[in-house]
Amino acid sequence: MAITTCVFDAYGTLFDVAAAARQAAAEPGYEALAEKWPELASHWRLKQLQYTWLRAVSDAHCDFWDVTQDGLDWALEAVSLQGDDALRQRLLDLYWELQAYPEVPEMLKALKAGGLQTAILSNGSPPMLDGAVQSAGIREVLDDVLSVESVGVFKPHSRVYDLVQERFGCARNEVLFVSSNGWDAAGASGYGFVTAWVNRAGEPMDRLPWKPAHVLSDLTTIPQLAGL
C-alpha cells in the first residue's frame, strides 16, 4: 500500500533537544555551563527517556514535564552544577522553545503539498508540544499533534501507536513513522508501521527483534521515502 500518513516523534526528531543547553551556555551568567553543556544535554536526554521506560513498565505514569525535570536534576548533579536555581530554571524555560532542525519546515511543507497527512506522536504533554510547535512555526503543516497523555502510558506501548489509526483511519502499512530513537523506530516496526530511524549521531543499531525499514542521517529525504 502507498504511504498516506507521515508521523513524527517530536523530541530529537523534529526538535533539537540539545538546543536548550547549548543556548543557555552561550548566555551571560551561565559561564559554568560553557564547557559542560554537551555532557549535560546528553545526560538529560538519556535520563528523561530512561524514566519514561521505568514508569511505563511499573505502571507509574506521569506528565512528561515531570520526567523532563527529574532528568535535568540528575544531569545537573552529574556535571556538578546542582544547586544553581537560576540555571535550572533557564534550562527548563528554554525547553519550551526548542529549535527545529533546519530541514524540518521545508520537509513538512513538501509532504503537505504532496497531499499526505502529517502528525506528531510524542511522549510530550500537550502544553509542551504546543510550545515547541508554535516556537518552530510548523503548526500550519501538521494535521494533528498526538500525545501519550490521552492513553496514559509512554512509548513504545502499542496503545500509543494505536492513536495514529484512531485519528487518521489508515492501515498500519500506510503510515511512515519517523523517529530519532532507535528503540522507538523498532517498536513502531514491530507494530506494523513503515519506519525510518533518523540516526543523526551515527549510533549502532539497537539489538531488538525489529528493525527500522530505513536509516537516515537527517529528514531531508522523507518526502521521497513517502513516495513523492
Q: Looking at residue 15, what DSSP letter applies? A: B
Which residues, 6+ apart, have CB-to-CB distance to 93 below 8 Å? none
Adjacent-strand bridge partners of 147: 122
Please answer whether residues 8 and 179 qualify as being in contact, where contact means their C-beta atoms are separated by less than 8 angstroms.
yes
Cβ neighbours of residue 20 closer than 8 Å, sequence gap 6 or more: 41, 91, 94, 95, 98
105 contacts 137 by C-beta, under 8 angstroms: yes
Of how many residues is the chain composed?
228
Choosing from 9, 59, 70, 218, the catalytic residue is 9
DSSP state of 11: B
Confirm whether 9 is a catalytic residue: yes
Amino acid at 88: R
**CA 216 to chain CA centroid, nearest Å:** 15
Give the helix/strand (H/E) hosting 87. helix 85-95
Alpha-carbon span 59 to 61, nearest angstrom: 6
Catalytic annotation, residues: 9
